[in-house]
Copies of this chain bind each other. A is one copy, B any other.
Amino acid sequence: MIRLEIALELDYVIADPGCDFIFNIHAASTPRQLVVAESLTLSQPLLARVETEPVTRNRYLRLQAQAGPLKVAYRATVDLMHHFAPPGEVGEVPVARLPAEVLGYIYPSRYCQSDRLHRMAMREFGQRWQGYGRVQAIRDWVLERTTFTSNTSDSNTSAIDTLLDQVGVCRDFAHLMIALCRAINIPARFATGIDYGADPALGPTDFHAYVEAYVGDRWYIFDPSGTAIPMGFVRFGTGRDAADVAFATIFGTVNSSAPVIAIQAVAGADGHLQVPYHCTEAISTDG
C-alpha cells in the first residue's frame, strides 16, 4: 500500500462574468485507489458541484465563477493498493471476450486515429506474443522514436502528427501509444494525474498524461513518455483521449497562471512509508 498526499493550486483571472468551468482534478475513487481525505478551497463564494461519471468514475468539479481572480485549491490523501502481475502471465483479451464497456476503447478517437495505423502497427508488432509484452513493446517504440520537447505541440496535435514529427510532450506520447494499441485491437485509454517522480530538471511538478491498456482482464498502467514513476500515479480521469479529460475546460475568457502542484509519499495508516519505485511487474489500480 502506498499513501500519497497531493496538493494543487490553480489561479485564474476571469474577464467575463458567469464563466463556466469544468475541472477534473479530483482523485478518482476506486476499490484500489482510496481517497482517505480531501479538501477543496475556492477564493470566490461559489456553489461547486462535484459529480462522478458512473462508468469512468471521473469526478468533475463544475462551477460558474464571477469576473475577477479565482483560486482553486485541492488537497487529498490517497491510498493506492496496486494489483501486481508478472508480465509474462498477462495475455491479451480476444475481441470476443472484451466487456461491453471496454469495447469503445478499441475505436479511434479525435487524437488517436487508430484506423489509419492498422498496417503500420501490424508490420511493427503483428508477430509478437499477444500480451503485456506487446503493449510494452509499443510503449518502448513510441518512447524510442519520440523526443520529449516542450512547446512543439498544441491542442490540435494528434497521434499521426506525433508519429510524423517525432516530438511532443506526455499527452502526445500517450496519444501515439493509444492509437497503435487500438490499431491492433488492444483497448487503450488516456489517463491523467501528476508526474510523480519526474526529474526536477524538467521543471516543477506538473500534471501528467499516461496510458492504461486493457490486457489480462484489467487496465494496466503504462508511461510512454518515460518521465515519471507509474507506481506513484494517482488517477484523476480516464477517457478516449485528451478531448475527454482536460484538467480544466473553460467556457469564457480567462488568464491563467501555471498550476502549483505537489505530491509526496507519506506514511500510511500502519505507520509504514512505502515510496513508489520503478518496478518490472505489471501494475494496475483497476478494480
Contact = CB atoms under 8 A, between A and B. Distances in A.
A38 interface: no
Main secondary structure of the interface of A (DSSP, over half): mixed
A113 B241 CA distance: 13
A156 B120 CA distance: 16
Contact of A22 (B60, B64, B103): B103
Nearest to A53: B100
Contacts of A54: 55, 101
Contact of A156 (B51, B101, B116, B167): B116
A119 to B, nearest CB: 4
Nearest to A47: B96
Contacts of A156: 115-116
Interface in A129-171: 145, 147, 155-156, 160, 163-167
A149 to B, nearest CB: 11
Interface in A92-115: 94-96, 100-101, 103-104, 107-110, 112-113, 115
Contacts of A104: 239, 244
A278 interface: no
Interface in A15-65: 20, 22, 51-55, 60, 62-64
B120 A164 contact: yes
A251 interface: yes
A108 B109 CA distance: 8
Contacts of A51: 100
B155 A96 contact: no
A273 interface: no
A243 B20 contact: no
A185 interface: yes
Contacts of A100: 51-53, 60
A145 B155 CA distance: 22
Given A96-B62, A116-B156, A164-B160, A108 B243 contact: yes
Given A20-B94, A110-B115, A123-B166, 9 more contacts: A53-B101, A64-B96, A95-B251, A107-B110, A110-B110, A116-B164, A116-B165, A119-B167, A163-B164
5 contacts: A53-B101, A64-B96, A104-B244, A109-B243, A240-B240
